[in-house]
Chain A
Amino acid sequence: MANFVWDVGMNSTNKSEVRTAWTLLLPAIVIFALIAFYPLVSVFYYSLTDKKFASDKPTEFIGLDNYSMMLSMEFYEIPPQKDDAGKVKLDENGDTLYEDPIDILPMDPVAYWEMYTFNIFGKRYTLAATDPEFLISIKDTVIFSVLAVALELIIGMAFALTLNSHFKGRGVMRMALLVPWAIPTVVSTKMWAWMFSSQGYGLFNTVAYYLGLSDHQIAFLVTPDWQLPIMVVIDVWKTMPFMALMLLAGLQTIPSDYYEAASIDGASKVRQFFNITLPLLKPAIVVALVFRMLDSLRVFDLFQVLFGSKFFSMSSYTYYKLIEGKEMGYSSACSVVIFIAILIFSLFFIRVLGREQINGK
């Protein structure tokens, strides 16, 4: 709601009011221009060049080459291996032997690298890309974000509902909720990395030992199948409290007479949750989801601290291209792609949110 002040008899001061307003805003505008607007424009510009740091080669304008390098993908059919007589080779099980994709994929003018290989209709295909690492980082970041935010919502909701009931020691519980939130991500990641140690003395390996679950050590951080789930676990621990606090704040605005009336009418707790709590909590849920999703898609600390350049998020890939590769042009192009992706996501959610508010009235 716009709340205009100085409505009464203030026309004489209007001019000076406007001048004061812009004077007060000036420092903030200058700072935003300096750290947001200018760098963003320069990133868009550099993304069209092949600029490299610490290189003697003069920077050239290369148009959209960086983007096609980043995003090019193509399917290739992988032919079976044939012997000298032209017959398809089979292995001992009678399955067809195929050529190695690396021998089939084109190397010139740009090299394509294998991303996924699969069989369909008796033929083998490879999905190849010019920069598979970036595309895989997009896929991993999206999977990570969706899993983490969904789990956060479920666990955060369970926590908020529990904390919303009457009990002694609410202050203690609220403080506990702030513990993961306040801890720096670098620190929480190191703490969990230590608990997930692949050695027998790691906490989770010790727990597994006591439960008799494994007679051998689980190499949590080294086994590829464990890596993404572990990051989700760490992220949920760190950021779920924010979700729980948002939902708790929303829950506390629901008048208790709604529930009293519903119980008198004989509605079960479950029905009360779906018919009263959930609809009334929807605005808070949507806001929390948007904030967390935007945050999660730009994840950096967790990936970089835990896996360095062995497992990329979109942001950590961009970082390594810039710092280790010194490829200013290319990493700028990655930044632009991330920026546009998050922009589209934001616009989409603002629209949904806007419609939500119009319908709500």
Chain B
Amino acid sequence: MESKRKWTKVFLYFLLALILLYLIFPFIWAISSSLKSDNQLIMTPATLLPRDPTTGEVSFYWGNFITVFNNNVFVNGLKNSAIVSVSTTLLALIIGAFAAFALGKLRFKGRTAMLYLVLSITMFPQISVLTGLYSVIRNIGVDVMTGMILSYMLFTLPFTVWVMSSFFKGLPDALLEAASIDGASFFQSFYLVLLPLTLPAIVTTGLLAFIAAWNEYLFALTFTSLKQSDRTVPVAIAMFSGQSAHQEPFGAIMAASIIVTVPLLILVFIMQKKIIGGLTAGAVKE
């Protein structure tokens, strides 16, 4: 019995190791490739650690990172992505918190209909409004950056409203009643009493909105075809090309990928509990 349990444990850890390898190996391979020079990249058989093609010694090459940081499109893309993602997050949080408070804590006709509307926009295929949004930006000449920020509300706002309204709903009504007895208006009780209490939900939804905006590609690719200097980082990486048209510069692409992903991963690791809570909000019924 004792030895059977021991073997079960061994098997479990073996499975866990396999899962871990599957999940993070592509990322490790990308890091390793980003530290290889062009000659090291085309060594056969490929090596896990960057090695010198002739001596076989481990040798790291930093040139890809230098190339990437000297690439204007990429550096500009980082800046654009930061502006777009931060603006999207703030806008979604502010407007979302207003709407969520109304839907979570106030009583009015049409509340259920509004909740359904928000939920249905969550399922909205972005491609179905792409042509419409594109023609507005193209014909009216909306600033491309503004166009991206506004259109990113399509997938950040419904989610923010949805998660935050259930959070507001969970807060005790006694708080609001007390505030109302003290003569506070709804609006005052909203930002003086409820908002500070919902800080955890704000952090979670804000982070998810930021990641969604940072990673967005379809709208960014389409809209920035009108103004290339507004390209965000995913578009820049997708269009990364080297000196020759035939050979994709994978070393530099991997370096750019690492630069874009590492800050995101650090953020995610610090906030992992909150993120998992936010992501799985729909799976478990309260």
Contacts and interface: CB of A to CB of B under 8 A. Distances in A.
Interface of A: 2-6, 8, 10, 13-14, 16-18, 20-22, 24-25, 27-28, 31-32, 34-36, 38-43, 46, 53, 159, 162-163, 165, 167, 169, 171-188, 190-192, 194-195, 197, 199-203, 206, 209-210, 237, 241-242, 245-250, 253, 283-284, 287-288, 291, 294, 297-298, 300-301, 304-305, 314-315, 318-319, 322-323, 328, 331-332, 335-336, 338-339, 342, 346
Given A179-B27, A194-B30, A27 B285 contact: no
B237 A190 contact: yes
A186 B238 contact: yes
A25 B158 CA distance: 12
A301 B153 contact: no
A31 B157 contact: yes
A279 B264 CA distance: 36
B123 A249 contact: no
Contact of A173 (B20, B109, B180): B20
B80 interface: no
Contacts of A288: 283
A10 B12 CA distance: 58
B59 interface: no
A173 B12 CA distance: 13
B4 to A, nearest CB: 13
Contacts, number: 301
A342 B125 CA distance: 7
Contacts of A53: 135, 138
A339 B135 contact: no
Given A319-B222, A322-B131, A210 B45 contact: yes
B206 interface: no
Most buried by B among A4, A6, A294: A6
Contact of B29 (A195, A199, A305, A314): A195
A141 B20 CA distance: 29
Contacts of A186: 215, 217, 234-235, 237-238
Contacts of B29: 191, 194-195, 203
B42 interface: yes
A184 B46 contact: no
A195 B29 CA distance: 8
B101 interface: yes
Contact of A242 (B180, B234, B279): B279
A342 B129 contact: no
